[in-house]
Amino acid sequence: MIAYFDTSAFIPLIIDEPSSAACLRLWNDATRAVSVRLLYAEARAALAQAQRMARLSRRQLAEAVGRLDELIGQVDHVEVTERLVRSAGAVAESHQLRGYDAVHLAAAQSISDGDTVLASGDRQLIEAGMHSGLAVALTR
């Protein structure tokens, strides 16, 4: 199985969240983990927000960034290209998605084969993935 991780499915691999066990199962069961190159920036922003919300101490944030750096090296990346962003624009419009969610959906579609699963905690993204013919895993 190829597992495409959006940020909401990737962060639980780094910090403890209710969906951590489900995300870890997907990670371990996948023969390949994939995400768009922007995952790193989104993940760093999410971790910084967790620290601002006092969910992580400064020390825990530093450890989480270290874990992010470790895991990101195990992810195959879909590069952000003109074709990808145009596709993302079209799916944003047709599925009423936010920008980054549309980029994730377009990236997942670009690598989709019969063995690809879109993993996300975002119900709207999951619904859009289902309507696009992708296998999905709601991680929340």
Percent of the chain with pLDDT over 90: 96
Per-residue pLDDT, 139: 85
What CA–CA distance (Å, rounded) separates 81 from 115? 24
Question: Backbone dihedral region of 54: left (phi > 0), alpha (psi from -120 to 50 degrees) or beta?
Answer: left
pLDDT value at 20 more than 90: yes
* Average pLDDT, integer, range 11-40: 97
Range(s) of the domain holding residue 34: 2-138
List Cβ neighbours of 82 (8 Å cut-off, separation of 6 or more). Answer: none
Total domains in the chain come to 1
**To 10 degrees, what angle do helices 39-52 and 58-72 make?**
170
**CATH number for the domain harbouring residue 89:** 3.40.50.1010
**pLDDT, the chain, mean:** 96
Does residue 140 have a pLDDT over 90?
Answer: no
- φ/ψ of residue 40, rounded to 5: -60, -50
- Do residues 87 and 80 make contact, with C-beta atoms less than 8 angstroms apart? no
Cross-strand partners of 75: 33
Residues 64-107 pLDDT 10s: 999 999 999 999 999 999 999 999 999 999 999 999 999 999 99
